Chains A and B, each alone.
Chain A
Amino acid sequence: MNEIQLRIPAKSENELFARNTVAAFALPLNPSLSELSDIKTAVSEAVTNCIVHGYAGQEGWIEIVCRIEGECLHIQISDSGKGIADLEQALTPFYTTLPGEERSGMGFTIMQTFMSTFSVQSRAGAGTVVTMSKDFGARAEANAQ
């Protein structure tokens, strides 16, 4: 078991650092280039959500906890922002609360598709916690069959 905890201000300039740090942490799992890209994209989506939706441009902190257990990478990304009032709607592909801002509404769909497991917990006013994991090696192959 190995673990890292990151606490970063909700600024878009930290997205690059966040996704590359999580990808670097995952290296002992011998990820393929495609798997590394999946992890970076999923992390970038979750961190973007914290900045754009959770804190909506206001200051705040994003917490990222990563854990390797066996051949699995667990990632939890949380904010203490405004939360999501209607989770079911938020998880609908192409749904966005900011249609005027060129948002694709694909963030959660990409996290769900690129990771092995995905869940989100949120309440209006109570922040958001995204929990996801990705299997590697024999475990990933077993899931693919």
Chain B
Amino acid sequence: MKIQENRNGENLYIYLTGELDEHSVCAVREQTDRLIDENAGLSRAVFNLAGIKFMDSTGIGFLIGRYKKLQKYGMTMYLENPNAGADKILALSGVYSLMPKL
């Protein structure tokens, strides 16, 4: 998995690329949490999922975990550009009510 960031005003953009599953999630969690910690003063975090080729429910658990972390910093979370497969499990698990899709 590759993780890239970009700051724009009050927004922290996190771009995830690769396959998000039980094997990759530990490293992704560590790197993403470090980015969130470094940008804790911002208002919003936008997770861009365009590069996620595959994700299963491990990804749902990961996203909910980041949502909780961002909440502690008073930051809101958004998702953008999931592919059709990711969109299907995100919708099924109801996470868009916590982190809306832009």
Q: Which A positions have Cβ atoms within 8 angstroms of B?
A: 12-13, 15-16, 19, 33-34, 37-38, 40-41, 44-45, 48, 51-52, 101-107, 109-110, 113-114
Contact = CB atoms under 8 A, between A and B. Distances in A.
Contacts of A109: 92-93
Nearest to B26: A12
Contact of A41 (B61, B64, B89): B89
B60 A106 contact: yes
A106 B21 contact: no
B22 A15 contact: yes
B79 to A, nearest CB: 15
A106 B93 contact: yes
A15 B92 contact: no
Given A37-B84, A110-B89, A51 B64 contact: no
* B-side interface size class: 20 to 34
B80 interface: no
Contacts of A110: 56-57, 89, 92
A15 B23 contact: yes
Given A34-B85, A110-B89, A104 B60 contact: yes
Given A12-B23, A15-B23, A52-B22, A106 B57 contact: yes
Given A34-B84, A109-B92, A104 B23 contact: no
B15 interface: no
B88 interface: yes
Contacts of B58: 48, 104
Nearest to A94: B93
Given A34-B84, A104-B93, A106-B93, A16 B21 contact: yes
Given A109-B92, A113-B92, A102 B61 contact: yes
Nearest to A107: B57
Interface in B51-73: 54, 56-58, 60-62, 64-65
